[in-house]
């Protein structure tokens, strides 16, 4: 109605009408930023990403966390739906330029895990196998950890543990041998390391250690271990 002001939900609209506006034609709704909510008919969807590019990004994100073996990267790509063909192409290229190097990975893994966790060759071989390192590559890396170094590490682990362990010598002996066994040390190495450490600890422990026939006990433990080992 002419001469009357339109009523709105927030009060009277006192603004003058614009030219050509008869207050009856609905205006298009706009978003908060003033853009029409209607879709742009000229907009085109983004082209699909190249599968190899996606595969490379996945590999680089994995490698940014820590070094990976080829098998680990292949598993990550498979989980993300990358085809075997593209996966092989990308990983072959990474092999060529040295981004993937299972031999270097195995050497670094053996060095760091032995120094940091005191793991022996048996436990390290199992970890490398779980990460997809082939047997020959793993054996070469494990060959750098000689028996003398392994025995010295076992003794150092026992000496450190003896500072906090309490109990009768026989209980302490079993506990420490078990600790070394869990870290992959063979029975002979574990028993000799614990016997020598107990002999140097106290008179009571030394007396107990003198009664231990390390060779016979190691043979018995070795037979029991072979009987209980699950076939691979």
* pLDDT for position 205: 74
Q: What percent of the chain has pLDDT over 90?
A: 55
Query: Does residue 12 surpass a pLDDT of 50?
Result: no
Across 201-230, average pLDDT: 64
What's the chain's average pLDDT? 81
Q: How confident is the model at residue 228 (pLDDT cuts 50, 70, 90)?
A: very low
Enumerate the domain spans of the chain: 51-100, 101-145, 146-232
* pLDDT for position 147: 92
Query: Does residue 1 surpass a pLDDT of 50?
Result: no
What's the DSSP call for residue 70? H
Token reading at 206: 């030394």
Token reading at 78: 């498979």
* pLDDT for position 58: 96
B/e letters for 93-106, b = 16+ CB within 10 Å, e = fewer, are ebeeeebbbbeebb
**118-136: per-residue pLDDT in tens?**
999 999 999 999 999 999 9
Give the C-alpha separation, 112 to 106, whole Å. 10
In total, the chain counts a number of residues equal to: 232
Token reading at 152: 């010295």
48 or 28: which leads in pLDDT: 48
CATH class of 51-100: mainly alpha
Give the C-alpha separation, 152 to 205, whole Å. 20
**181-206: per-residue pLDDT in tens?**
999 999 889 999 998 998 887 777 77
**42-87: per-residue pLDDT in tens?**
656 666 678 999 999 999 999 999 999 999 999 999 999 999 999 9
Query: Does residue 139 surpass a pLDDT of 90?
Result: yes
* pLDDT for position 167: 86
Among the listed residues 95, 92, 126, the one whose alpha carbon sits nearest the alpha carbon of residue 109: 126
Report in angstroms the alpha-carbon separations of 109 from 13, 63, 66, 167.
76, 15, 11, 35
* Lowest-pLDDT range of 35-44, 159-168, 188-197, 207-216: 35-44
Torsions phi, psi of 7, nearest 5? -90, 130
Q: Topology of domain 101-145, per CATH? A: Arc Repressor Mutant, subunit A (1.10.10)
223 membership: H or E segment, kind and range = helix 214-228
Would 51-100 and 101-145 be classified into the same CATH topology?
yes
Token reading at 216: 């016979």
Among the listed residues 163, 165, 121, the one whose alpha carbon sits nearest the alpha carbon of residue 141: 121
Give the C-alpha separation, 110 to 124, whole Å. 6
* pLDDT for position 36: 47
**91-109: per-residue pLDDT in tens?**
999 999 999 999 999 999 9
């Amino acid at each position: 109605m002419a001469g009357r002001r339109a009523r709105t939900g927030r009060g009277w609209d006192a603004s003058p009408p614009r030219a050509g506006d008869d207050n009856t034609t609905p205006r298009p709704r706009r978003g908060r930023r003033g853009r029409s909510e209607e879709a742009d008919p000229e907009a085109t969807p983004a082209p699909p990403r190249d599968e190899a590019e996606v595969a490379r990004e996945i590999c680089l994100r994995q490698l940014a966390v820590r070094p990976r073996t080829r098998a680990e990267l292949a598993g990550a790509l498979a989980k993300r739906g990358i085809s075997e063909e593209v996966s092989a192409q990308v990983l072959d290229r990474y092999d060529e330029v040295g981004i993937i190097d299972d031999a270097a990975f195995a050497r670094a893994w053996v060095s760091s895990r032995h120094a940091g966790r005191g793991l022996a060759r048996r436990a390290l071989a199992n970890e490398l196998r779980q990460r997809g390192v082939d047997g020959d590559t793993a054996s070469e890396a494990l060959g750098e950890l000689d028996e003398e170094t392994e025995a010295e590490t076992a003794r150092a682990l026992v000496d450190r543990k003896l500072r906090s362990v309490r109990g009768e010598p026989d209980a302490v002996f079993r506990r420490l041998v078990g600790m070394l066994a869990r870290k992959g040390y063979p029975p002979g190495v574990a028993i000799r390391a614990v016997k020598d450490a107990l002999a140097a600890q106290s008179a009571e422990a030394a007396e107990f250690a003198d009664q231990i026939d390390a060779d016979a006990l190691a043979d018995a433990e070795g037979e029991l271990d072979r009987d209980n080992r699950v076939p691979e």
